[in-house]
Amino acid sequence: MNELYFAPWFHKNNFIMLHTILRYGIISGLIVASLMFITQMTILGLSVQKETFDYGMIIGYTTIFLASMAIYYAVRHYRDVKNENQISFVQGLLIGLGVTLISCVFYSLMWMIIYYNFMPDFMDQYASYSIEKMQKAGATVDEINQFSKDLEGYKTMYKSPVNIFFLTMIEPLPVTFSVSLLSALILKRK
């Protein structure tokens, strides 16, 4: 009875799906890691790190979005080439989430390389920049103190590589999950 229960997991299509996830996950991961490295090294080389805090999130999420296009191509490749022009929403979503997971690991590992080797004072610089910006905007002393207290919590979390890894893994999820959902919806075909 156990053989019948586990038999669907050893089906040829599942190995093909896993191969597709690995292939496109690595492609997406290499894209996002490369773009992050190039962007951060450019910022450091130009000595404009503080100036980029305002639009760094835009740059970061743009690179994440570009890399997440591999999700769409993974789902389409599996549907058109590997699965006889058919794919369910669930299959498409599973492929998208698999690619997302691999890409997020690359993203997080690259951030850790950059942080520990090139920007170990990132949190201190970000904190001082943010407080300075709040002061210029006319924030009250209580607001600044509360913000400082919140930042101290993040600084404490940033003392552990495990925390950095998992905090950074979460950053790309809104974009990559959305692309996974949209790809699965757009490309589903029975």
Residue 165 lies in a domain: no
> Residue 27: what pLDDT?
97
Distance from C-alpha of 181 to C-alpha of 178, rounded to nearest angstrom: 5
- The pLDDT score that the predictor gives to residue 49 is 64
88 contact partners, CB below 8 Å, separation of at least 6: 188, 190
Helix axes 89-118, 161-170, angle to 10 degrees: 140
* 72, part of any domain: yes
Domain count, the chain: 1
pLDDT at 4: 47
pLDDT at res. 37: 95
87 touches 185 (CB < 8 A)? no
Count of CB atoms situated within 10 Å of the CB of 164: 17
- Residue 134 confidence (pLDDT): 87
For residue 151, how many C-alpha atoms fall within 13 Å in the half-sphere facing its CB?
Answer: 16
- Confirm whether 65 is domain-assigned: yes
pLDDT in tens, the chain (190 residues): 444 444 455 556 678 889 999 999 999 999 999 999 999 888 887 766 666 777 788 888 999 999 999 999 999 999 998 778 889 999 999 999 999 999 999 999 999 999 999 988 888 888 888 888 888 888 888 888 888 888 888 888 888 999 999 999 999 999 999 999 999 999 988 7
Residue 17 domain boundaries: 12-119+172-187
Q: Kindly report whether the global pTM for this prediction surpasses the value 0.75.
A: yes
